[in-house]
Chain A
Amino acid sequence: MADNTPKGAERAKNKRGIWGWINPYHYNLERWAYAFQRITGVAVLAYVLGHLGDTSFFVGGPTGSGPSPSSWDFIGTIFENSFGHLILVLVVLVLVFHGVNGIRLILAEFGFILKKPSKIEYPYKAKGLGSGQKYLIWIGIAAGVAAAVWAFLVLFEGMG
């Protein structure tokens, strides 16, 4: 299409950018699951990278001559308190949700949990947003919360 914008005038770009990924307000349950999948994905990646880094302290860090095993003990002390335990509980919650929702996405991409296209009638109800895959979102949330409660009980046992 020809650009008829007058010379010197700037059109508004109007792109939502990353904000569109993490802000599902006004949208459907699947869009919320998408936003959480992105956010928890980054959180899980940060945790895994951090964990790889601190476990490498056992062998002197990535170069072999870096931080000593005592640094590993120091990292341990960071998480040996209520705040550190809450962080770990959160890690369990996001890990389990991310995993279950990831399985849902794989199943949907293989078409296992979706209905076939067919004749449609008003009021339209999208089969692509059908109940089968919705249950899996709720199962992911429930499993994440249950695992977080379990992690809470294990980590805080004896702290009181």
Chain B
Amino acid sequence: MTDVRLLVQRFDPLTDEKPRFAEYSVPKREGMTVLDALLYARDYLDHSIALRFSCRQASCGSCGMKINGRLRLACYTQVEELGGEKVVAQPMDNFEIIKDLVTDLGSFFAKHKQLMPYVLRSDSQEMDHPSAEFLMKPEELEKVLQFTYCIKCGLCTSSCPTVGTDALFPGPQALAQAYRYLSDERDEGGKRRIDALDTAHGVWRCHYAGSCSAVCPKGVDPALGIQLLKRHVMSGKARSEGAEVWKQQAAAAPPLK
């Protein structure tokens, strides 16, 4: 069994002025992911390595980091696909480092919330006390489905060059989710959403570098969503017909038990 050279970027705000690298030798096994290698190093070689992870199956979005220079999920990247000899693990760019590979995603989630990632409707009574499901036709679902696969790992936002210089830019994740709800047939928040996006630091700060889509591990394709969002904003259309469509569907649907 050969070993893999694992270089981990270390940073402790209590003792370090700037990040440094530490090297570990990890026994390689078939099917080993970068997360496996990091956990081996943490469990058997150096307990002080800080990293964030949970599901180990690319569903929770916790283990996003820069691996051999590219933004990836550690649990979704096999050591073998990197050449099998050397793995360099660094925290995601453009987020403050709390410790080692753990970054602060606070502003990331705040921006996500700022763009209202939920269906907005005028019939608040029905929202709070629904008499039926909010139905959606399969072809309507298909328009937004890929954007619903976002696991909020932060890789797209970390890769965005605009995020690196503009702290007020919402970033590709939040903007893609804004498109997801803006194009949802049941949503009536069009004007509110567009007002939140069509600003000096809003959607127009995206210059279509496309790295968000290139690094997304779930095929969400934020770059596509953002360009379509721009078209939507330019068209000046704010959805209001959704309510009527939904009322018709609700009338035809069986009541909730």
Q: Which residues of A contact B103 (CB under 8 A)?
A: 14
In the bound complex, do residue A109 and residue B13 qualify as a contact, i.e. CB atoms below 8 Å apart? no
Is B93 part of the contact surface with A, judged by Cβ < 8 Å? Answer: yes
Contact of B209 (CB < 8 Å), options: A25, A34, A109: A34
A127 interface hit (Cβ, 8 Å):
yes
Taking a contact as CB atoms under 8 Å apart, the answer to whether B211 and A28 are in contact is: yes
Binary contact track B209-229/A, C-beta < 8 Å → 1, others 0: 111011010110111110110
B11 near A12 (CB under 8 angstroms)? yes
Q: Chain B's nearest CB lies how many Å from the CB of A100?
A: 14
B21 adjacent to chain A (CB < 8 Å): no
Q: Which B residues between 133 and 157 are near A, CB-CB below 8 angstroms?
A: 142-147, 149
Question: Does B13 lie within 8 Å of A21, measured CB to CB?
Answer: no
- From B93, B147, B210, B218, A14 is in contact (CB under 8 Å) with B93
How far is B183's CA from A118's CA once the two chains are assembled, in angstroms?
13
Interface-facing stretch out of B31-39, B44-52, B159-167, B246-254 = B159-167
Q: Please name all residues of chain B whose beta carbon is closer than 8 Å to the beta carbon of A11 when the two chains form the complex.
A: 13, 96-98, 104
Residue-wise interface mask of B (87-124) relative to A, using a CB-CB cutoff of 8 A (1 in contact, 0 not): 00001011111100001111001000000000000000
B228 near A117: Cβ-Cβ < 8 Å: yes
Q: How far is the CB of B153 from chain A (nearest CB, A)?
A: 14
Distance between A128 CB and nearest chain B CB, rounded to angstroms: 3
Q: Would you call A118 and B93 a contact (CB within 8 A)?
A: no
Q: Out of B144, B165, B213, which one reaches A126, CB within 8 Å?
A: B213
Contact bitstring B199-214, A, C-beta under 8 A = 1, else 0: 0000000011111011
Supposing A12-B19, A34-B208, A128-B224 touch, asked if A27 and B214 sit within 8 A by C-beta, the answer is yes
State how many residues of chain B have any CB contact under 8 Å with chain A.
51
Given known A28-B214, A105-B207, A117-B147, contact A128–B221 (CB-CB < 8 A): yes
Map CB proximity to A onto B60-72 as digits: 1 under 8 Å, 0 otherwise. Answer: 0000000001100
How far is the CB of A78 from the nearest CB of chain B, in Å? 34
Chain B proximity mask over A60-99: 1 for CB below 8 Å, otherwise 0 = 0000000000000000000000000000000000000000
Asked if B1 lies at the interface with its beta carbon under 8 angstroms from chain A, I say: no
Q: Is the CB of B96 within 8 A of A14?
A: yes
- Which residues of B pack against A, CB within 8 Å? 11, 13-14, 17-19, 69-70, 91, 93-98, 103-106, 109, 142-147, 149, 159, 161, 164-165, 207-211, 213-214, 216, 218-219, 221-225, 227-228, 230-231, 234
Task: Pick the 8 closest A-B CB pairs, nearest first.
Answer: A124-B219, A128-B224, A1-B106, A30-B210, A9-B13, A128-B223, A20-B164, A16-B164
14 further contact pairs, Cβ within 8 A, besides A20-B94, A109-B230, A128-B223: A6-B13, A12-B18, A14-B93, A14-B96, A17-B165, A21-B165, A30-B210, A114-B228, A117-B145, A117-B147, A118-B145, A119-B145, A120-B146, A126-B221
